[in-house]
A and B are shown apart, each in its own frame.
Chain A
């Protein structure tokens, strides 16, 4: 990536990695942060970015996206996905392995890295599959994929069902100090379910997915993690009980982390009724109950939750324009997450801005072992700048993503209008 020189001047710098929240100028040289001081004069030939009235933070990291490439480029590609990332204020994403072919070998991992670098809108860190072909039988060549750039392993889209495979994956991943990310779901308990099982599924007559479908897998995996000494990360955690188990595991000192999505923080199963069976409210895990949602909000505040990740899951409009029961699971997230979090979590008083940056940048960077998540001198200049006052309206027709599946269409929010720098270069779309 090119290495322009920039001074970002007059902004409020929020960097939890250095306990920083104040007005500083940033000098960016050779792709890295080279100075951070109260007042900097721009050296000769240096471009100035006026950040007056804006917030500057370490580049946001979405540790859970689906870019559909290779194989389903009609839904999204690495190019459009990383454009969506940049438009949403993300300088890095980690993309799941459930492509076609599955990212279970070095060649696929290398393709993803090369494609992302060719466009340069955002860094794209591949997550390799746990098992060959995500078939849940044999370990994939995890070491080879790590050498090609994989930062974690996951069969996301599907759970690692076999307990022995999970145990071995946790052990084997220790060689590379990477987390095993689990899509925690017991497919037998899910059955034909399409939404959270509870009062609302009963009222709507839709088959339910009980909270226990997630909980029994998290419980099992935590036992395996304790015995294996591996690193375990729960993707899109959605229930109060799973959160409690993670809280207890952390208290024991286990290497356990978890992420939650904005939709599980802001919507509930009642949204499906309010939106009259709209397929844009269908995803896995399903939108849960209000008490689950309240528990997740508490988990954000008390530190149990390490990251907010969007689970950006593009689907073609034709695939979503069907009966709720027939629609594929998943919604977009990259271009709505920051505004939703700024308005509904920070402005509402649930989180401080510092804590939000931790959840959207420092936290996920730490889990994946990325250099991102900090504006400390010497770190790569991956920077997100946004206006926390700007009023925005979610408008899916203006998404950079190829897909349109969002339940947040028309939401009026305060906070957005982002600019990103990746490796010291200002990203333009």
Chain B
């Protein structure tokens, strides 16, 4: 199949075939990382702007490396998305960037729907690199790539995602992707961080770490930011770790070949113990590696270069 979308705004609107295409393409780009000269000319002469309204070292560097390996001309633009900082409007900023005729714009923004606003106003292809608590499609894709490499498939797997479900864009994109590909997804976390109606996205809900781990093939831990969500949600880091922090002894409940994932950045001793993070089940660093390949695939497919010779 070929890619037909101008933008990658979320996983929700993708078909399993489109997801499969990105993952297969990413697989073929992995090989580039193993070359002594890690660069292909695929996007030579194309311009990509990385527009980051939120600090995000890892996602931005991952996109940057992907762009460089594809030989694209890339440019970084950082700004603040805080509503309190009254500056240029998002549309004005975007119009200015459009004047540089970028082929693609990668946007990270604190508010849901910001990439959609750009997509409506600009001819450039828009890649959502995380919009508030809405979606983070390339993260879900790299998670899927990682799962596929370890399990050979996604269909039929039991995946448990644990932590602050309410404020996580990673969890939403992952539920969409994993259920479309036939996995069984369980989300677990405190009652006070569980958004209403999450079941409607296709996930099973649990409020117990042990229950969520039962028979799991994949465990994804989410970053918890109590300083952001306020003390009305969870009284302390210590108490959170006791209820939902993943420690080695918990993994006995999971499948014996379970893999443990984390989108990063990790809070050791808060949502995950170092023993688990650095332990034999952890695939956290592989996720980072797969992130580059998946982003290369997305950039390549959205650039329209697919129709041309590689």
Hey, which bits of chain A sit against chain B, CB under 8 A? 197-208, 276-277, 318, 321-326
Contact = CB atoms under 8 A, between A and B. Distances in A.
Contacts of B172: 203, 205
Given A199-B200, A205-B132, A323-B90, A277 B195 contact: no
B200 A202 contact: yes
Given A203-B12, A205-B131, A205-B169, A325 B112 contact: yes
Contacts of B117: 277, 322-323
Contact of A204 (B81, B112, B196, B198): B112
B83 A277 contact: no
Interface in B59-112: 81, 83, 89-91, 109-112
A326 B197 contact: no
Contact of B90 (A197, A202, A318, A322): A322
Nearest to A272: B113
A204 B197 contact: no
A199 B166 CA distance: 12
Nearest to A276: B116
A207 B132 CA distance: 10
Nearest to A319: B89
A208 B132 CA distance: 13
A202 B135 contact: no
B305 interface: no
Contacts of B109: 323
B196 A206 contact: no
Contacts of B201: 202-203
Given A277-B116, A323-B90, A199 B132 contact: no
A202 B89 contact: no
Contact of B89 (A200, A205, A318): A318
B114 interface: yes
A410 to B, nearest CB: 15
26 contacts: A197-B196, A198-B196, A198-B197, A201-B195, A201-B196, A202-B166, A202-B197, A202-B201, A205-B131, A205-B133, A205-B172, A206-B112, A206-B132, A206-B133, A208-B196, A277-B113, A318-B89, A321-B91, A322-B117, A323-B90, A323-B114, A324-B111, A325-B110, A325-B111, A325-B112, A325-B113
A318 B90 CA distance: 11
B120 A276 contact: yes
B134 interface: yes
A318 B198 CA distance: 34
Nearest to B81: A323
B282 to A, nearest CB: 27
Nearest to A326: B83
Contacts of A206: 112-113, 132-134
A30 to B, nearest CB: 54
A410 B131 CA distance: 29
A323 B111 contact: yes
Contacts of B111: 323-326
B113 A323 contact: yes
Q: Which among A203, A204, A323, A326 has the highest number of chain B CB atoms within 10 Å?
A: A323
B179 to A, nearest CB: 13
B237 to A, nearest CB: 22
B223 to A, nearest CB: 15
B112 A205 contact: yes
A203 B91 CA distance: 24
Contacts of A323: 81, 90, 109, 111, 113-114, 117
A198 B83 CA distance: 24
Nearest to A188: B232
Contacts of A205: 112, 131-135, 169, 172
Given A205-B112, A206-B112, 11 more contacts: A201-B195, A202-B200, A203-B197, A203-B201, A204-B113, A206-B113, A208-B195, A322-B89, A322-B117, A323-B117, A324-B113
B107 to A, nearest CB: 11
A198 B195 CA distance: 8
Top 4 nearest A-B pairs (CB, nearest first) are A277-B113, A199-B197, A205-B133, A205-B134
B202 to A, nearest CB: 11
B172 to A, nearest CB: 6
A200 B12 CA distance: 13
Q: Which among B113, B117, B120 has the highest number of chain A CB atoms within 10 Å?
A: B113
A202 B116 contact: no
Interface string B118-147: 001000000000011111000000000000
A283 to B, nearest CB: 16
Contact of B196 (A202, A322, A325): A202
A321 B195 CA distance: 28
A94 to B, nearest CB: 32
Interface string B41-53: 0000000000000
Contacts of A208: 195-196
A154 to B, nearest CB: 27
